[in-house]
Structure 1
Amino acid sequence: MRELIRANDPVLLSVASSLMKDAGIHFMVADQSMSVLEGSLGMLSKRFLVEEERGDEARRILIDAGLEAELRP
């Protein structure tokens, strides 16, 4: 899996998820349960991961959707 986004914004993660679903790209949002451990302070970011072999395609989709500033290098 390749990390494309690290964020706490549920709307951003929802939009990215929807774009990947529409493109048929497998993804997962890691570290969603970490808020239980940290006390819901929002200090630990969630990681948006896509399948490695379609990582470049997923990155292009997110850029085309105007989310370039949210992408990890």
Structure 2
Amino acid sequence: MKELLRTTDPTIIAWATAILQGEGIKTFEFDVHMSVLDGSIGILPRRLMVLDSDMFMARAVLKDNDIPTGQ
């Protein structure tokens, strides 16, 4: 798996996940429960991961929907 997106905004993760799953790209969110460590204030970023083989298509889908991937 490769990191597609890293953000502290949970709405971006949710939106990106919905878009990618609509395109048939499986996603997995890392660091979901890290808020326990930061006191639930949301300063630790979450990561959205995709399979290596889906990375090119996933970046294209997010770019088409104006979601920055940091790449």
Scaled by the length of structure 2, what TM-score is found?
0.91
How many pairs were matched up?
71
Where does the alignment leave 5 or more consecutive residues of structure 1 unmatched? none
Answer whether contact 1:38 1:44 (CA < 8 A) is retained.
Answer: yes
Aligned residue runs from structure 1 range 1-73, under 5 A = 1-67=1-67, 70-73=68-71
CA displacement 1:19-73 (0-9 Å, x = unmatched) = 1110111111100000011211222100011111010000000000111xx2122
Q: Distance in 2 between matches of 1:21 and 1:71?
A: 16
Where does the alignment leave 5 or more consecutive residues of structure 2 unmatched? none
TM superposition shift of 1:2:
1.2
Q: Distance in 1 between matches of 2:11 and 2:34?
A: 18
Q: Distance in 1 between matches of 2:29 and 2:51?
A: 12
Q: Percent identity?
A: 34
CA RMSD of aligned residues (A): 1.0
